A and B are shown apart, each in its own frame.
Chain A
Amino acid sequence: NAGVTQTPKFQVLKTGQSMTLQCAQDMNHNSMYWYRQDPGMGLRLIYYSASEGTTDKGEVPNGYNVSRLNKREFSLRLESAAPSQTSVYFCASSEQPHRLGTEAFFGQGTRLTVV
């Protein structure tokens, strides 16, 4: 069982470059999320998707865009990378909205460095 799969695992970008982080889940979950994790801070929500075809901003959406391609896949795009976007990015999914207490399943993370 793969669970939540993220690609790539590591990435180095130059300032101004763009890239897309891919995420796919095989648990037939409705809700999917993108978080970033920075040293000394809790995970912060970038964007979420309650269901296929819907997306909403989280706490720190500036500089990012997302696409819920289908029920399985939820991608995160950085149009013009900035050093402040250096972070570890996690994709997660849950059967029901995370706030209801449903367990969220996380991918292994993407470590992104913007130089």
Chain B
Amino acid sequence: KNQVEQSPQSLIILEGKNCTLQCNYTVSPFSNLRWYKQDTGRGPVSLTIMTFSENTKSNGRYTATLDADTKQSSLHITASQLSDSASYICVVSARTSYDKVIFGPGTSLSVIP
């Protein structure tokens, strides 16, 4: 069964600290993996996309990694800011039909002063 799991479910960190969010998937055959940020009351916004051949990709203070062999991805946030408080969603696509775009349940991150 195609699944995307994320951990932790929620996380609270102090402003300025770093954190890492995890995504494990069983979607097959793998095409790509995106990380989205969803602010409260808003729609998701893409942060980065990872394809099979990519191991690491950065977008400012966000760095995503992908291990296609173990089917794991992580999103590392450096020097967190209050505006990083949001839900982070891992989305994995398969190389077949439309219904193989699987959204993870998200990790809720709270950055406190």
Chain A contacts to B: CB under 8 angstroms: 4, 35, 40-45, 48, 50, 56, 58-59, 90, 92, 97-101, 103-109
Contacts and interface: CB of A to CB of B under 8 A. Distances in A.
Contact of A99 (B4, B41, B51, B101): B101
B7 interface: no
A106 B44 CA distance: 6
Given A41-B105, A106-B43, A108-B42, A58 B98 contact: yes
A35 B103 CA distance: 10
Contacts of A45: 98-99, 101
Nearest to B9: A40
Nearest to A104: B46
Interface residues of B, number: 28
B43 A109 contact: yes
24 contacts: A42-B4, A42-B89, A42-B104, A42-B106, A43-B44, A44-B103, A45-B101, A56-B98, A58-B98, A58-B99, A59-B99, A90-B44, A99-B31, A100-B31, A100-B32, A100-B93, A101-B49, A103-B46, A103-B49, A104-B46, A105-B43, A108-B41, A108-B42, A109-B43
Interface string B70-112: 0000000000000000000101011111111111111000000
B6 to A, nearest CB: 9
